[in-house]
Structure 1
Amino acid sequence: MREEIMEGIRRHILPLSGLEKAKLLEVWPGHSKISIEIPESALNLYGNLHGGFLFSLCDITAGMATYAYE
């Protein structure tokens, strides 16, 4: 593979941070709602929200909604 292609591929590995700034708005069994200001570090190379960040938010809220069942 050409080196410039490999370098482009390597640039897709980004650190994700900022999840700790999420604020819980609502929670009850089977439901949770959070709010978060998207940090620049959560954007991918194209300026869009990184899929891993988005799915982490989904995982957090699903866990909260499930945990609320006790």
Structure 2
Amino acid sequence: MFHDLLGIEVLEVKEGFARVKARVEREFLNIHGTAHGGFIFTLADVAFGLALTSSPH
């Protein structure tokens, strides 16, 4: 899965909720030496997707 390529770990998923974590590796830094926005938004997107699909429709 895509999130595995970035080292995103799924910690918890329950109805409407997800908790994930990832280590910011050197490859994920921007020119200022902080986490790249794309990496942060991907982390949020993974959590949002898991929480959304865990909810009954």
Query: If the length of structure 2 is used for normalisation, what is the TM-score?
Result: 0.80
Which SS does the other structure have where 2:40 is aligned? helix
Higher relative contact order (CA closer than 8 Å, sequence separation 6+): 2
Query: If the length of structure 1 is used for normalisation, what is the TM-score?
Result: 0.67
Segments ≥4 residues shifted beyond 3 Å: none
Partner of 1:32: 18
Paired residues, number: 52
Identity of aligned residues (%): 33
For the residues of structure 2 that align with 1:24 and 1:58, how far apart are their CA atoms? 12
For the residues of structure 1 that align with 2:53 and 2:8, how far apart are their CA atoms? 17
CA RMSD of aligned residues (A): 1.2
Gaps of 5+ in 2: none
1:45 to 5, 11, 31: 31
For the residues of structure 1 that align with 2:34 and 2:22, how far apart are their CA atoms? 15
Gaps of 5+ in 1: 1-17
